[in-house]
């Protein structure tokens, strides 16, 4: 009769077991591929010499672009301003790690930070009566956060000076922005080379506690002359409980400028981008809406901004994290490396980091086991799921917000070499990052004239499109077109990127100096 | 008596025949198992059918049309028979009424309006040929319409703006 050998029966059994396991463990992709290939809502009509208007699928045509936080007040909704962000932040915690290995030091919003903020504003008003503009040149510190929110509460403008080391560049930024008060960390500004504009009436030095003995204030007094008063942060906060003179906080909606960012434009000229509360709030609201609720900032999250807060993108992401009531932890360093050891004690779940820092992760040491695991991870990513992390650097990390931290004029000088070390991340590199860290990566295209990102990767888009710089669709607060340039003509998808919407500093179509094209999938690709 | 040996031989050949193939079958099963295990550990890195399908669909998306300035002469071919698209001008605005082909296309009740300035006809509520300004004459200024007719025309304008795609404008000369 049919006597089937046990080996055959066994093999058949194994085969069925494998197939059954596949069936049981089958995972659906995080998002349907169709959605990944239709990421933009495209206008059916376009003007000659430019592309159709592209929008996010969250805010298609006939829907309003995102304008604000939609805070309910009675029966109406309002957009909100920075003071509302501060109020939302009170649900969460703000922590600082002063130096490597230290435990996180949490500051309480109600008993510590909010009184501090009012004191700071009163003190500034005392030093410079009727103060309107405050220049900030600080690392990510409590002083930075408190000063900027103090300014927002008392309708002063904050000038965010980029943390560059070139004193002549800082001088140019100060000259064009004309702040009345400058707050900076001791020892970072060289006053023999720095020329202060005439508007400056007061300097505030933030002296780290270990440098108290260095007498920074006396040294400065000699250098700057008698027309400028010099104070230390200690002087400012010495009477937290009872400020000397109280200034009136403005009521109602804040319409004036809030944050001013000086930057060097394409032609080498120094320009100013002035962001109002509305600009900022629309960008923040966008970040809270663009990512599905399950992936967005949550109150259980620990967010670490690793990039400098002086950068508008990082600041908007920081504000978004505050608004969602997360725990934000600053770990002092804003250097370009990634100090893994210092970060592991914090065990972040969300990181806001510049693309340059992520190169540190890409410089992993390959080995046979890692290569095999990478192969597996790439397969899982292709099927639309997130793999386990290969490098267990941050075990709880689930989301990385990163951006192209360069100014467009720096980018244009590089002749389209996508694999350039100093350039931005390519799709292949982003895919590798996802595999190595086991976290979702959202890569944003930024411009100094626009608060927050212009375009950013869809959170579930794990596609590896090779050595091209692919950013996702335009954010739901903006609409975008590309217009023909001298070299790119005729094509209805390639050209110079222009955007319009509330996060732009100026009204109307804003030029970005970025040349790129729209893909079939509705994602923006940078060309050079 | 029927000789059963032939049948028996036949039967024994069939019954014993799997044993010849068993080793091959084992090898086949083993290879298949190894392949499935391999695929379980290393999922394919190439795009799957669903992705290819989505890519294909993305490529076939309709291209945006260019907003164009038409003169009465260049608009005329867009009547659904010369050109595929059916266009129609109302109050100087050109709408793509291809979606309403059964009305405005060839053979439809309003086919007179296709590729023409329909303003006067819509205002007067008439679909006749005489409502249309001949192609070689200057564009209709619509100055002689009375208040009711202007009202009717404005309503039609809103109807078209809400329903059809505005894809250009009608001008006297380019």
What tens digit of pLDDT does each residue of A450-469 get? 999 999 999 999 999 988 89
Residue A264 β-bridge partners:
A270
Nearest by CB: A7 against B26, B62, B167:
B26
Record the tokens describing residue B83, joined without a space. Answer: 């050109």
Provide the percentage of residues in chain B whose pLDDT is more than 90. 36
Nearest chain A Cα to B67, which residue? A47
Same domain, B47 and B79: no
Query: What's the mean per-residue pLDDT of chain A?
Result: 86
Q: Is residue A240 part of a domain?
A: yes
- Smallest Cβ–Cβ distance between A1 and the set B15, B44, B166 belongs to B15
A34 and B57 within 8 Å at the Cβ level: the answer is yes
Q: Check if B27 contacts A (Cβ < 8 Å).
A: no
- Residue A187 and residue A306 in one domain: no
Residues 6+ apart with CB under 8 A from A478: A65, A450, A454, A499, A500, A501, A503, A504
Q: How confident is the model at residue B13 (pLDDT cuts 50, 70, 90)?
A: low
B55 in contact with A, Cβ within 8 Å: yes
Together in a domain, B53 and B73: no
One domain, residues A135 and A246: yes
Q: Is residue A275 part of a domain?
A: no
Given a cut of 80, is residue A156 above it in pLDDT? yes
A95-99, A458-462, B37-41: segment of lowest average pLDDT = A95-99
Lookup: tokens for B113: 């309006």
How confident is the model at residue A416, as a pLDDT? 38
* Residue of A32, A44, A380 lying closest to B64 (CB–CB): A44
Handedness of CA A336, A341, A346, A347 (dihedral sign): positive
pLDDT digits (tens, 9 = 90+) for A264-313: 887 788 999 999 999 999 999 999 999 999 999 999 999 999 888 988 99
- Residue A57: give its domain's CATH number: 3.40.50.12780
Q: Are residues A201 and A315 in the same domain?
A: no
Note whether residue A271 is domain-resident.
Answer: no
- A 10 A CB-CB count for A527 gives 16
- Stretch A251-274: mean pLDDT: 85
Q: Is residue B63 one of the residues assigned to a domain?
A: no
Task: State the pLDDT confidence band at B86, using cuts at 50, 70 and 90.
Answer: very high
Q: Are residues A340 and A439 in the same domain?
A: yes
Same domain (yes/no): A240, A284? no
Q: Which range among A249-253, B16-20, B65-69 has the greatest average pLDDT?
A: B65-69
CATH number of the domain within which B79 lies: 3.10.120.10
Q: Determine the average pLDDT of the residues in B26-35.
A: 92
Of A35-49, A132-146, A253-267, B14-28, least confident by mean pLDDT is: B14-28
Q: pLDDT value at position B164?
A: 92
With respect to residue B62, please indicate whether it lies within any of the assigned structural domains: no
Domains in chain A, number: 2
Q: What average pLDDT does range B24-50 have in this prediction? A: 90
Are A383 and B43 an interchain contact pair (Cβ–Cβ within 8 Å)?
Answer: yes
Query: What average pLDDT score do residues A412-421 get?
Result: 39
If DSSP codes are grouped into helix, strand and coil, which group holds residue A181? strand
Region A166-176: what's the mean pLDDT? 91
CB contact under 8 A, A46 and B47: no
For the whole model, what pTM was predicted? 0.89
Reference A206, options A246, A170, A173, A233; nearest CA is A233
Report strand pairing: A327-330 vs A202-206: unpaired
Q: Are strands A350-354 and A45-46 parallel, antiparallel or unpaired?
A: unpaired
Say what the pLDDT of residue A408 is.
43
Of A258, A254, A238, A201, which is closest to residue A119 (Cα–Cα)?
A238
How many distinct structural domains can be found in chain B? 2
Domain containing B166 equals: 68-170
Chain B: nearest CA to A375, how far in angstroms?
Answer: 7
* ipTM entry: 0.80
Q: Which residue range(s) make up the domain with A379?
A: 34-71+280-526
Note whether A187 and A308 are same-domain residues.
no
Provide mean pLDDT across the span A1-16.
84
Gap between the Cα atoms of A516 and A525, Å rounded: 5
Q: Is the dihedral of CA B68, B73, B75, B81 positive or negative?
A: negative
Residue A29 lies in a domain: no
Contact residues for A521 (Cβ-Cβ < 8 A; gap 6+): A36, A37, A38, A39, B58
SS3 A135: strand
Same-domain check for residues B90 and B35: no
The answer to whether position A358 is within a domain reads yes
Is B155 contained in some domain? yes
A263: phi then psi, degrees, rounded to nearest 5: -150, 165
Look at residue A303 and tell me if it is in a domain.
yes
Residue A394 included in any domain: yes
Q: Residue B134: which pLDDT band, with cuts at 50, 70 and 90?
A: confident
Query: Is residue A440 in some structural domain?
Result: yes
Are residue B130 and residue B85 in the same domain, yes or no?
Answer: yes
Q: Which residues of A touch B (CB under 8 A)?
A: 1-2, 4-5, 7-8, 11-12, 14-15, 18-19, 21-22, 32-34, 36-38, 42-48, 51-52, 375-376, 378-380, 382-383, 492, 520-522
């Amino acid at each position: 009769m049919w006597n089937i050998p046990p080996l055959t029966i066994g093999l058949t059994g194994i085969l069925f077991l494998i197939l059954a396991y596949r069936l049981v463990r089958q995972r659906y992709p995080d998002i349907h591929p169709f959605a990944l290939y239709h990421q933009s809502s495209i206008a059916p009509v376009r003007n000659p010499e430019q592309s159709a208007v592209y929008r996010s699928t969250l805010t298609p045509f006939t829907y309003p672009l995102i304008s604000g936080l939609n805070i309910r007040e009675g029966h109406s909704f309002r957009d909100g301003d920075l003071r509302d962000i501060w109020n939302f932040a009170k649900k969460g915690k703000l922590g600082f790690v002063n130096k490597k290995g230290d435990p996180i030091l949490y500051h309480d919003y109600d008993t510590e930070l909010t009184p501090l903020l009012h004191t700071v504003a009163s003190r500034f008003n005392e030093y410079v009566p009727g103060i309107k503009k405050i220049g900030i040149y600080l690392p990510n510190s409590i002083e930075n956060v408190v000063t900027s929110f103090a300014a927002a509460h008392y309708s002063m403008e904050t000038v965010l000076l980029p943390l560059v080391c070139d004193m002549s560049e800082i001088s140019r930024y100060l000259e064009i922005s004309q702040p009345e008060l400058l707050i900076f960390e001791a020892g970072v500004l060289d006053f023999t080379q720095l020329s202060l504009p005439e508007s400056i009436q007061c300097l505030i030095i933030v002296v780290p506690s270990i440098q108290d003995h260095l007498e920074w204030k006396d040294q400065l007094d000699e250098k700057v002359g008698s027309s400028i008063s010099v104070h230390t942060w200690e002087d400012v906060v010495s009477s937290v409980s009872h400020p000397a003179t109280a200034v009136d906080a403005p009521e109602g909606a804040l319409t004036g400028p809030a944050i001013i960012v000086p930057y060097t434009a394409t032609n080498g000229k120094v320009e100013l981008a002035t962001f109002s509360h509305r600009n900022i709030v629309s960008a923040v609201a966008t970040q809270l809406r663009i990512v599905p609720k399950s992936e967005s900032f949550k109150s259980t999250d620990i967010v670490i901004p690793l990039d400098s807060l002086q950068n508008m993108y990082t600041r908007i992401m920081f504000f978004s994290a505050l608004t969602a009531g997360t725990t934000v932890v600053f770990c002092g360093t804003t250097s370009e490396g990634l100090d893994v050891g210092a970060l592991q004690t914090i065990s972040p779940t969300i990181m806001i980091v510049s693309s340059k820092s992520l190169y540190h992760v890409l410089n992993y040491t390959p080995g046979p086991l890692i290569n095999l695991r990478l192969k597996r991870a790439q397969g899982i990513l292709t099927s639309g799921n997130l793999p386990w992390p290969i490098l267990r650097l941050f075990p709880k990390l689930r989301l990385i917000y990163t951006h192209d931290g360069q100014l467009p004029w720096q980018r244009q000088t590089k002749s389209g070499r996508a694999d350039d070390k100093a350039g931005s991340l390519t799709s292949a590199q982003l895919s590798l990052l996802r595999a190595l860290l086991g976290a979702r990566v959202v890569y944003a295209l930024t411009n100094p004239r626009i608060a927050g990102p212009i375009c950013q990767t869809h959170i579930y888009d794990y596609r590896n499109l090779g050595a091209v710089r692919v950013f996702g669709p335009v954010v739901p607060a903006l609409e975008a077109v590309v217009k023909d340039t001298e070299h790119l003509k005729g094509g209805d998808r390639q050209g110079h990127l222009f955007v319009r919407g509330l996060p732009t500093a100026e009204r109307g179509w804003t030029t970005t100096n970025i040349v790129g094209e729209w893909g079939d999938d509705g994602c923006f690709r940078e060309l050079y | 008596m029927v000789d059963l040996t032939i049948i028996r031989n036949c039967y024994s050949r069939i019954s014993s025949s799997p044993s010849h193939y068993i080793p091959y079958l084992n090898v086949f099963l083993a290879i298949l198992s190894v392949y499935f295990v391999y695929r379980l550990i290393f999922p394919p890195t190439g795009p799957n059918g669903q992705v290819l399908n989505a890519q294909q669909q993305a490529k076939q998306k309709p291209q945006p049309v260019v907003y164009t300035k038409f003169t009465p002469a260049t608009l005329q071919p867009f009547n659904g028979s010369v050109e595929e698209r059916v266009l129609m001008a109302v109050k100087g605005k050109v709408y793509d009424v291809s979606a309403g082909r059964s009305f405005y296309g060839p053979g439809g009740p309003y086919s007179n309006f296709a590729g023409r300035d329909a303003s006067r006809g819509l205002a007067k509520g008439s679909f006749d040929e005489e409502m249309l300004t001949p192609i070689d004459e200057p564009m209709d200024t619509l100055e002689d319409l009375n208040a009711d007719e202007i009202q009717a025309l404005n309503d039609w304008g809103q109807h078209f703006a809400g329903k059809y795609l505005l894809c250009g404008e009608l001008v006297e000369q380019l």
